Amino acid sequence: MPLTGCTLIKQRIVYKWVPDEPVVASGGTSIRDTGSFFFSTGEDTAIALIVVRAIKDEFIIETGPGAGIVIDETISDVAAFIDTVIDGIIANVFGDSVEAFITAYKQSRV
């Protein structure tokens, strides 16, 4: 039965993420020092991703779960970056404001 007298107010399209098998970057475009920071926008499925093209090795945790991959959010420079993103006017592609930090890790395809 069709609806009448209604107006579309908001629409959100969510694409499911499926991990691809990592491949070696070509043409000198290695991303092995790239960091991915994931933030929540307060919505159930919405996130914001910020990619930092150069992460220092000393920012990566060395022991425990995630050793060699996870970016240490307790390091002052990393914590300051996270605070700046949350306190700033950053939004995801849907225009949702960033509200909280989720996780960060170093990418590597080498």
Alpha carbon separation from 106 to 51, 63, 82 (Å, rounded): 10, 15, 15
* H-only helix segments in 58-103: 76-87
Residue 44 in any domain: the answer is yes
pLDDT digits (tens, 9 = 90+) for 17-76: 666 665 555 555 556 678 999 999 887 767 888 888 888 889 999 999 888 889 999 999
Domain count along the chain: 1
Domain containing 96 equals 35-106
Residue 42 CA to residue 98 CA, distance in Å, equals 8
Residue 14 in any domain: the answer is no
Confidence of residue 78 (pLDDT cuts 50, 70, 90): very high
The confidence score (pLDDT) of residue 6 equals 74
Q: Which residue has the tokens 């022991």?
A: 63
